Amino acid sequence: MSFIKEFIEQETVNRRNLLLASAYGLGGAAALRTLGATPARATTANPTIAWSYRDRTNPYWNYIVSGGEAFVESLGKPKDALVNLINEGSSEKSLADVKALLGKEGSNLALAIDANDAPNCRPVVEAVAAAGAYVSTIWNKTDDLHPWDFGDNYVSHMTWSDEGPAEKTARILFDAMGGKGGVVHLGGIASNNPAIERLNGLKNALKDYPNVQLLDAQPADWDTQKANQIMASFLTRYGDDIKGVHCANDTIAYGVIEALRAEGIEGMPIVSYDGNQQAVELVAKGEILATVFTNPHWGGGITAALAYYAATGAFKPSAEPKEHREFYGPTILVTPKDAAEFKAKYLDSTPKYDWKDFWGPGNGQIKYK
């Protein structure tokens, strides 16, 4: 059995287990609401550290949370001291879980979170600020929501500038297609900022390739199984007209590859995003032409660190310049020529990071269109 089939089957098992665990956790969270919020304080000596995210079945989020755990361990705490709020892709659950934890911890909370979609970020931030707690966000927020509008409590927002890297992977894809033919795109959750930017990157590249046609673009919700089903339907509908596949992340690419194999198709040009270990190995073999690494281990650790050190009063977010409140994370394009070197540096062993170097690997202040 290929690792991709095993990945899909394990994803199903893990999702079932996580749903059971999440259901239990939500019941406990509901009970916490009855405790009421703790009166807000300026800073706290030993805040509870929490990460709110989709789930750990996706390698990307597993790397994110492993970074959060590494940060917690750097404080001399066990990794299970990190509170995991698993939302399974539900913005409603994300917000409910945050409010429940605030009901228990009050201001004694340092929260790192991806709000799941952009509109959900505001009610999360407002709830945290009202409790006097501290939050650092990644990926998803609306353009009109800014940390400096919430004093010190909304510590920071980090995202990644995905249009440029996604455009680069698209150009690699189109060149491999000989500059002509049909391409399909499988995206993330339609309302997610990274899903929007990665599709925009593809469309930007298309402007310079008049003989490449975008046959279809469908959201696969960052899900391997859904990507497998969508790619199978694309093959039924478009058949041999498909000459290349642009994937919004690596786990989507795994589903695409399995759908192609089911039809006996080998060597289809494919590009992806995230730089997960299995994807980098496929890049090294030439089965994926390129992926983009966003260093999720560092991102997960530094987001938790920012919230924690703001909560303890180690630094005052409102005294920092705007480029320290909203900033881009790092991106690295991985291709077959450098995949082995990249894997040895970033994946075979985890680099050690200074969790107080908040902005060192960043890529500058976020720019809005």
pLDDT tens digits for 192-229? 999 999 999 999 999 999 999 999 999 999 999 999 99
> For the chain, percent helix, then strand, then coil, each to nearest 5?
50, 15, 35
Those residues with Cβ within 8 angstroms of residue 17's Cβ, 6 or more apart along the chain or in another chain: none
Task: Write phi, then psi, for 338 (nearest 5 degrees).
Answer: -120, 10
Token look-up 């991709």 returns: 4
Rg of the chain over Cα atoms, rounded to whole angstroms, equals 21
Cβ burial, residue 287 (10 Å; 0-12/13-18/19+): middle
Number of H helices, E strands in the chain: 11, 12
Q: Rounded to an integer, what distance in angstroms lies between the CA atom of residue 61 and that of residue 45? A: 28
pLDDT of residue 190: 93
Mean pLDDT to the nearest integer, 283-306: 98
pLDDT of residue 20: 45
| 3-state secondary structure at position 246 | strand
| 3-state secondary structure at position 308 | helix
Contact 150, 125 (CB under 8 A): yes
pLDDT tens digits for 29-80? 333 333 333 333 457 889 999 999 999 988 899 999 999 999 999 999 999 9
pLDDT level of residue 350 (50, 70, 90 thresholds):
confident
Q: How many CB atoms within 10 Å of residue 96?
A: 17
| 3-state secondary structure at position 160 | coil
pLDDT of residue 214: 99
Nearest Cα to 333, choosing from 159, 162, 139, 114? 162
Contact 89, 21 (CB under 8 A): no
User: Can you read off the two tokens belonging to residue 132?
Assistant: 């006097």
pLDDT tens digits for 268-292? 999 999 999 999 999 999 999 999 9
Buried b (16+ CB within 10 A) or exposed e, 300-328: bbbbbbbbbbbbeeeeebeebeeebbbbb
Contact 93, 26 (CB under 8 A): yes
Q: Rounded to an integer, what distance in angstroms lies between the CA atom of residue 258 and that of residue 58? A: 17
Sorted by where each starts, the structural domains of the chain and their CATH numbers stand as: 3-160+295-330 (3.40.50.2300), 163-293 (3.40.50.2300)
